């Protein structure tokens, strides 16, 4: 069950949300080399919008841009068993008036894939969007050929609502861009509701 972090002065990183297999914390400047390595791994970025070499200087500039923005929430993903950093996840284009946002995730470490971490991270971030931020609709885009990603999102409660047909070139052919969304009433788990409650109800 997810919980807010209880950073007790041990050697763990600063954490915001702790789940069963993963935990989420803020971005860190000292992790820029890891973020940089993932963004230059074509095996990782083949399912992302970005597909090209990036420099560490570009990574640093992007980091500064993310820190200065007010319409996004960006997290580092940690594997709880080892406390190593394994990826990043985010909510972008947060619109508090219309209560919407866009979700994204990168599991950068290859040996951390296929363990259910992506599904848990997606559920935790969606829960954060609905319970902590009060949003109602979270959407994402995924390429048609990204079967693993589509399974993860469906397990976390996302459903397809449309496609842009043959709009992404990959592997010698054109693929659809699939649009998926999750609404607050459809969220599968909401563990943060145990934290974001009035004081008189807090245990």
**Which residues, 6+ apart, have CB-to-CB distance to 197 below 8 Å?**
none
Question: Catalytic: 153?
Answer: yes
Are 71 and 104 contacting, i.e. CB atoms less than 8 angstroms apart?
A: no
Rg (CA), the chain: 17
Scan for tokens 């919407």, then name that residue: 100
Q: Given the residues 63, 90, 128, 153, select the one marked as catalytic.
A: 153
If one counts every other C-beta atom within 10 angstroms of the C-beta of residue 134, the result is 11
Q: Active-site residues: which are they? A: 153
């Amino acid at each position: 069950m997810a919980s807010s972090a209880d950073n007790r002065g041990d050697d763990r990183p600063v954490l915001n949300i702790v789940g069963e297999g993963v935990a989420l914390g803020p971005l860190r400047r000292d992790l820029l080399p890891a973020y940089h390595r993932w963004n230059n791994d074509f095996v990782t970025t083949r399912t992302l919008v970005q597909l090209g070499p990036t420099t560490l200087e570009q990574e640093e500039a992007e980091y500064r841009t993310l820190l200065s923005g007010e319409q996004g929430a960006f997290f580092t993903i940690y594997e709880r068993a080892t406390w190593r950093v394994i990826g990043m996840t985010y909510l972008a284009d947060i619109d508090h008036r219309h209560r919407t946002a866009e979700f994204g995730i990168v599991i950068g470490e290859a040996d951390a894939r296929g363990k259910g971490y992506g599904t848990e991270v997606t559920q935790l971030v969606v829960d954060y969007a609905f319970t902590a931020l009060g949003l109602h609709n979270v959407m994402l885009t995924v390429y048609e050929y990204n079967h693993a990603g589509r399974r993860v999102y469906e397990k976390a409660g996302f459903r397809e609502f449309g496609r842009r047909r043959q709009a992404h070139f990959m592997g010698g052919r054109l693929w659809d861009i699939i649009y998926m969304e999750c609404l607050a009433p459809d969220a599968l788990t909401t563990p943060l509701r145990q934290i974001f409650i009035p004081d008189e109800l807090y245990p």
